[in-house]
Amino acid sequence: MIPEEYKERIVYDSLTLLSTICKAYGSEEGIKMWETISEALDPELKGLMFDAMLGGFSNTRLVLKGMTNNQLAPSKVNFIRTVRQYTNLGLKEAKDICDAVEAGKNMTIEIPAELRKSAYSDFRNLGIMV
Protein backbone atom coordinates (compact mmCIF):
# COMPACT_ATOMS: atom_id res chain seq x y z
CA MET A 1 0.00 0.00 0.00
CA ILE A 2 1.49 3.31 -1.10
CA PRO A 3 0.94 6.25 1.29
CA GLU A 4 -1.49 8.77 -0.18
CA GLU A 5 0.98 11.67 -0.03
CA TYR A 6 3.37 9.86 -2.42
CA LYS A 7 0.93 8.67 -5.08
CA GLU A 8 0.70 11.88 -7.06
CA ARG A 9 4.46 12.40 -7.05
CA ILE A 10 5.14 8.81 -8.16
CA VAL A 11 2.65 9.16 -11.00
CA TYR A 12 4.13 12.47 -12.13
CA ASP A 13 7.75 11.31 -11.89
CA SER A 14 6.97 8.06 -13.71
CA LEU A 15 5.26 9.89 -16.56
CA THR A 16 8.15 12.30 -16.80
CA LEU A 17 10.60 9.39 -16.97
CA LEU A 18 8.61 7.61 -19.66
CA SER A 19 8.22 10.79 -21.67
CA THR A 20 11.97 11.44 -21.52
CA ILE A 21 12.79 7.87 -22.55
CA CYS A 22 10.42 8.14 -25.51
CA LYS A 23 12.03 11.41 -26.59
CA ALA A 24 15.57 10.09 -26.18
CA TYR A 25 15.17 6.54 -27.48
CA GLY A 26 11.91 6.55 -29.41
CA SER A 27 8.40 5.29 -28.77
CA GLU A 28 9.30 1.62 -29.09
CA GLU A 29 11.75 1.80 -26.19
CA GLY A 30 9.24 3.83 -24.18
CA ILE A 31 6.62 1.13 -24.65
CA LYS A 32 9.09 -1.54 -23.54
CA MET A 33 9.90 0.50 -20.43
CA TRP A 34 6.19 0.99 -19.63
CA GLU A 35 5.59 -2.76 -19.95
CA THR A 36 8.48 -3.52 -17.58
CA ILE A 37 7.48 -0.89 -15.03
CA SER A 38 3.77 -1.69 -15.13
CA GLU A 39 4.41 -5.35 -14.24
CA ALA A 40 5.88 -4.28 -10.90
CA LEU A 41 3.34 -1.59 -10.04
CA ASP A 42 0.62 -1.76 -7.47
CA PRO A 43 -2.63 -2.13 -9.48
CA GLU A 44 -4.05 1.08 -8.02
CA LEU A 45 -0.95 3.04 -8.98
CA LYS A 46 -0.96 1.50 -12.44
CA GLY A 47 -4.53 2.67 -12.88
CA LEU A 48 -3.66 6.18 -11.70
CA MET A 49 -0.78 6.33 -14.17
CA PHE A 50 -2.96 5.14 -17.02
CA ASP A 51 -5.66 7.70 -16.16
CA ALA A 52 -3.00 10.40 -15.94
CA MET A 53 -1.63 9.50 -19.38
CA LEU A 54 -5.10 9.70 -20.89
CA GLY A 55 -6.02 12.90 -19.11
CA GLY A 56 -2.79 14.82 -19.63
CA PHE A 57 -2.16 15.01 -15.87
CA SER A 58 1.55 15.61 -16.23
CA ASN A 59 0.97 18.62 -18.45
CA THR A 60 -1.39 20.61 -16.24
CA ARG A 61 -0.20 20.15 -12.67
CA LEU A 62 2.84 21.23 -10.75
CA VAL A 63 3.63 20.03 -7.26
CA LEU A 64 5.34 22.75 -5.23
CA LYS A 65 7.40 21.05 -2.55
CA GLY A 66 7.09 22.21 1.02
CA MET A 67 9.99 23.90 2.75
CA THR A 68 10.85 23.55 6.39
CA ASN A 69 13.18 26.42 7.21
CA ASN A 70 11.49 29.64 6.07
CA GLN A 71 13.53 29.83 2.88
CA LEU A 72 10.88 31.96 1.17
CA ALA A 73 11.24 35.14 3.20
CA PRO A 74 13.20 37.14 0.58
CA SER A 75 11.09 36.03 -2.37
CA LYS A 76 7.65 35.49 -0.83
CA VAL A 77 6.03 38.34 -2.77
CA ASN A 78 7.49 37.04 -6.04
CA PHE A 79 6.31 33.52 -5.20
CA ILE A 80 2.75 34.76 -4.61
CA ARG A 81 2.92 36.79 -7.81
CA THR A 82 4.13 33.76 -9.79
CA VAL A 83 1.39 31.51 -8.39
CA ARG A 84 -1.19 34.10 -9.43
CA GLN A 85 0.38 34.52 -12.86
CA TYR A 86 0.11 30.82 -13.73
CA THR A 87 -3.10 29.91 -11.91
CA ASN A 88 -5.23 33.05 -12.09
CA LEU A 89 -5.96 32.62 -8.39
CA GLY A 90 -6.79 35.57 -6.19
CA LEU A 91 -4.33 37.13 -3.78
CA LYS A 92 -5.64 35.27 -0.72
CA GLU A 93 -5.63 31.87 -2.43
CA ALA A 94 -2.11 32.40 -3.78
CA LYS A 95 -0.90 33.55 -0.35
CA ASP A 96 -2.48 30.46 1.24
CA ILE A 97 -0.50 28.25 -1.18
CA CYS A 98 2.68 30.16 -0.40
CA ASP A 99 2.08 29.87 3.35
CA ALA A 100 1.42 26.14 3.07
CA VAL A 101 4.63 25.55 1.09
CA GLU A 102 6.54 27.68 3.59
CA ALA A 103 5.06 25.54 6.39
CA GLY A 104 6.42 22.37 4.77
CA LYS A 105 3.35 21.16 2.90
CA ASN A 106 3.45 20.05 -0.75
CA MET A 107 0.88 21.93 -2.82
CA THR A 108 -0.42 21.02 -6.26
CA ILE A 109 -1.42 23.78 -8.63
CA GLU A 110 -3.24 23.54 -11.95
CA ILE A 111 -1.68 25.44 -14.81
CA PRO A 112 -2.34 25.66 -18.55
CA ALA A 113 -0.42 22.90 -20.34
CA GLU A 114 1.26 25.33 -22.72
CA LEU A 115 2.74 27.27 -19.79
CA ARG A 116 4.09 24.27 -17.91
CA LYS A 117 7.74 24.65 -18.95
CA SER A 118 7.91 28.35 -18.20
CA ALA A 119 6.08 27.89 -14.87
CA TYR A 120 8.48 25.12 -13.87
CA SER A 121 11.45 27.34 -14.73
CA ASP A 122 10.03 30.41 -12.97
CA PHE A 123 9.31 28.53 -9.75
CA ARG A 124 12.75 26.92 -9.77
CA ASN A 125 14.36 30.34 -10.30
CA LEU A 126 12.57 31.51 -7.14
CA GLY A 127 14.09 28.60 -5.21
CA ILE A 128 10.87 26.61 -5.10
CA MET A 129 11.34 22.87 -5.52
CA VAL A 130 8.94 21.53 -8.15
Q: What is the pLDDT of residues 8-40, one digit of tens each?
A: 778 778 877 887 888 888 888 888 888 888 888
Look over the chain and give the mean of its residue pLDDT values, rounded to a whole number: 83
Over residues 51-91, the pLDDT tens digits come to 777 655 556 778 888 886 666 666 889 999 999 999 999 99
Pairwise CA distance, residues 62 & 56, whole Å = 12
Query: What's the CA gap between 50 and 15, in Å, rounded?
Result: 9
Q: Using the 8-state DSSP alphabet, how is residue 109 labeled?
A: E
pLDDT at 45 over 70: yes
Structural domains of the chain, with CATH: 4-55 (no CATH), 60-125 (3.30.1390)
DSSP codes of every residue in 57-106: HHHHEEEEPP-SS-TTGGGHHHHHHHHHHHH---HHHHHHHHHHHHTT--
Phi, psi of 129 (to 5 degrees): -75, 130
